[in-house]
Amino acid sequence: TDMIHSVLEGICYHLRWQLEAQEEKIKTSDTIRLVGGGALAPLTCQILADILGRDVETVDSPQNVGAVGAAVLMAVGFNIIEQIEDAKELIEVKARYSPDMKNKAIHDRNFKIFKSLYRRNKKAFEILNGGAGL
């Protein structure tokens, strides 16, 4: 189980890194809505909340959000709802995960190490992916 937990943390560290890069350009929501198959696992949701230091919400059938999005666009197109933003009222939050700030402090330290390990190993990653040699 430790190995699975570590893999989930690594995925969530990558999500944090992407979110931080995005926020250099635009402001994002304080609450994160997690969708897809990973949102079915409460452990993943809690780890993400702890790593981001933000509330994480899930919805019913998070693996089907693509179909829900298509239905919302169709509803807007047929004037069933006025605008896409109105869909928020139709999609209920199933669960909310709040960060444990003790865990956040540990993850903040580990995240710095995570990023430094990536930078130090970048050349090796390039070689493994068919790039030039060391």
Q: For the chain, what are the domain ranges?
A: 2-101
What does the DSSP assignment read for 38-107? GGG-HHHHHHHHHHHTS-EEEESSGGGHHHHHHHHHHHHHTTSSS-GGGGGGTS-EEEEE---HHHHHHH
Q: Are 126 and 133 in contact (CB under 8 A)?
A: no
Average pLDDT value over all residues in the chain: 93
Residue 134 confidence (pLDDT) above 70? no
Q: What is the pTM of this model?
A: 0.86
Nearest one of 84, 23, 83, 28 to 56, comparing CA atoms: 28
What is the CATH topology of the domain spanning 2-101?
A: Nucleotidyltransferase; domain 5 (3.30.420)
